[in-house]
Amino acid sequence: MEMETPTMSPKMKKYLLIVNCIMLAIGISGGPLIMRLYYLHGGKSIWLSSWLETGGWPMMIVPLLVAYFRRQVAHPTQAKLLFIKPSTFCFAAVVGLIAGSADYLYAYGVKHIPVSTSSLILATQLAFTAVFAFLLVRQKFTACSINAVALLTFAAIVLALHASADKPTGESSAQYYLGFFFTLASSALFALMLPMIELTYKRAKQTVTYSLVMEIQLVLSFFATAMCTIGMLASGDYKGYVSEMHEYKLGVAMYFVVLVCSAIIWQFFYLGAAGVIYYGSSLLSGVIIAVALPITEIAAVFFYHEKFQ
């Protein structure tokens, strides 16, 4: 199994790694903020918010088609629309169901606790990622990397515990603490998802190019979205969307803008994470998430006037 194309230079690999790190940082910083904006001005649906976290997956069809037509021009007889094999497809589908579960738990948390607090809790994913990376992909650790993971994780835990007095007005204690623990559970599932994506690349019995990475991400996002769609339909949640749209405090137009922006920004998160894992590792992806989250915390205090000790 080959993890990159033979013609890619180390310099280009580093450049693409940086680009994907930036995409991941934008997604994990902006996604929670735009999700909280939806809730602050009248949005109520947890299923819709979780659906939007992967609902932008059709965006990946365009670059995949471009890559296909380029291959067709270069090698007309060998070009394939999709390279993903059935075994890789099934594994990616399972990871997609894990992602869908994490999306729902996180959307519930953001609805009931301040985004500054939820971001701190999400920072604990780094410790979970380190454990799962060690178990699933045999990630090697040095004294420095263990120290860094420990410091980043414990700092986030200490801050999150001290933020327990920052309960939003109107939220009951039961909702607040359930949101707290649901966010922690989503952190663990996101952390499991990252090494499982890396394991998908390692288990693939084929050359893993970035086109295949995008195909795996497409399958993952599709199944996560399908899971949230089923939940949305089974719960009857969709019946309230029309009234919610008309009652949204920022207006109908802004309602759609918020939804579309949410879907796009969360795709930055998922695509960035997939790229960082491909060019780096799942642990590096977890580190980037932990490092970028303070941006969300500061922005939430500044723009949403959240109380934060």
- Residue owning tokens 């959307």: 107
Determine the Cα angle at 23 with ends 80 and 183, to 5°. Answer: 105
How confident is the model at residue 79, as a pLDDT?
A: 62
Q: State how far the Cα of 212 lies from the Cα of 137, in Å rounded to an integer.
A: 19
Q: Is the pLDDT of residue 197 over 60?
A: yes
Tokens matching residue 154: 């414990």
Q: Is the pLDDT of residue 222 over 50?
A: yes
Closest CA to 120 of 293, 298, 266: 293
In whole angstroms, how far apart are CA 39 and each of 45, 105, 171, 248, 260? 8, 15, 13, 10, 15
3-state secondary structure of 130: helix
Range in 111-125, 164-178, 263-277 the model is least confident about? 164-178
**Mean pLDDT in residue range 58-87:** 78
How confident is the model at residue 160, as a pLDDT?
A: 64
The one-character DSSP state at 278 is H
Q: State how far the Cα of 60 lies from the Cα of 45, in Å rounded to an integer.
A: 26
117 or 158: which leads in pLDDT: 117
Q: Where are the alpha helices (DSSP H) in the chain?
A: 10-40, 46-54, 61-74, 86-112, 115-122, 125-137, 143-162, 173-203, 210-235, 241-247, 252-279, 282-304
How confident is the model at residue 124, as a pLDDT?
A: 85
To the nearest whole percent, how much of the chain has pLDDT over 90? 57
- Residue owning tokens 């204690």: 173
First to last CA, the chain: 49
Tokens matching residue 106: 């996180």
How confident is the model at residue 65, as a pLDDT?
A: 86
Q: State how far the Cα of 301 lies from the Cα of 115, in Å rounded to an integer.
A: 9
Tokens matching residue 190: 């996101």
Rg of the chain over Cα atoms, rounded to whole angstroms, equals: 20
How confident is the model at residue 165, as a pLDDT?
A: 55
- Residue owning tokens 């977890």: 286
How confident is the model at residue 12, as a pLDDT?
A: 87
Determine the Cα angle at 41 with ends 39 and 43, to 5°. Answer: 45
Q: State how far the Cα of 289 lies from the Cα of 273, in Å rounded to an integer.
A: 9
Domain boundaries, the chain: 25-75+100-304
How confident is the model at residue 185, as a pLDDT?
A: 95
Closest CA to 125 of 19, 217, 32, 261: 32
Q: Give the confidence band of 237 by pLDDT, cuts at 50, 70, 90.
A: very high
**Mean pLDDT in residue range 54-64:** 91
Query: What is the overall mean pLDDT for the chain?
Result: 87
To the nearest whole percent, how much of the chain has pLDDT over 70? 90
How confident is the model at residue 6, as a pLDDT?
A: 46
Range in 108-117, 193-202, 248-257 the model is least confident about? 108-117
In whole angstroms, how far apart are CA 5 and each of 59, 206, 279? 24, 12, 11
Determine the Cα angle at 307 with ends 306 and 309, to 5°. Answer: 140
- Model confidence pLDDT, tens digit, residues 163-194: 555 667 777 888 888 998 999 999 999 999 99
Does the CA dihedral 133-136-142-146 come out positive or negative? positive
Q: What one-character-per-residue DSSP string does 67-114 give?
A: HHHHHHHH-TTT--S----HHHHHHHHHHHHHHHHHHHHHHHHHHHS-
